[in-house]
Amino acid sequence: HQINKNYSKITAPNPPSMEMKNMFQITDKQFRADTYGPQHHYHNWPMLYILENGKKAYIGESNDVTTRMSQHKSTPDKKIFKDVHFIYSSEFNKSVTLDFESQLIQLMAADEMFILTNDNRGIANKDYYNKEYYDNFFPNLWNQLRAKNLVRKNIAEIKNSDLFKYSPYKEL
């Protein structure tokens, strides 16, 4: 934060700058792999991930996806998954990944391409610094998931569906 010349007002810094086109990096890996890559962000950065086997999916977030994948591999209900799709952005923070995880669970449940195995709707972080700013970028992530055939429908189509309106995953 910076104090102006009159020392009467604190101004927040400008929000992070993100190029919409290159904001998200989605990396596809084999879930059972021993390692996912040397990149720093696999070990120490908030990320989203989707586990799937073509029929069922699980959506999660973690600050250390390498450790989280090891935990999932030892959990019987996660052993059904074949692929993992890591979603990285240099602009992610924990609040954003929690929010986007919740939105992905809600929308992917109503999209019906996969049967979700999530037990809950994620942790919906109702408000956080620059939320409105980050919300503008969620449709870009969704469109990248559509391009990778991980979701079928567009967001407007889903939000207008009865399945979404009455979904137990939907945030109240």
- Listing DSSP states for 98-150 in one string gives HHHHHHHHHHHHHH-SSEE--SS--------TTHHHHHTTHHHHHHHHHHTTS
Q: What is the mean pLDDT of residues 50-72?
A: 97
Compute the Cα dihedral for 68, 126, 133, 130 and give only its sign. Answer: negative
Neighbours of 128 (CB within 10 A): 13
Compute the Cα dihedral for 54, 56, 60, 64 and give only its sign. Answer: negative
Asked whether the beta carbons of 1 and 12 are under 8 A apart, the reply is yes
- The predicted pLDDT at position 21 comes to 56
Q: What is the mean pLDDT of residues 139-167?
A: 90
- The predicted pLDDT at position 54 comes to 97
Res 91 pLDDT > 60: yes
Q: What is the mean pLDDT of residues 49-59?
A: 98
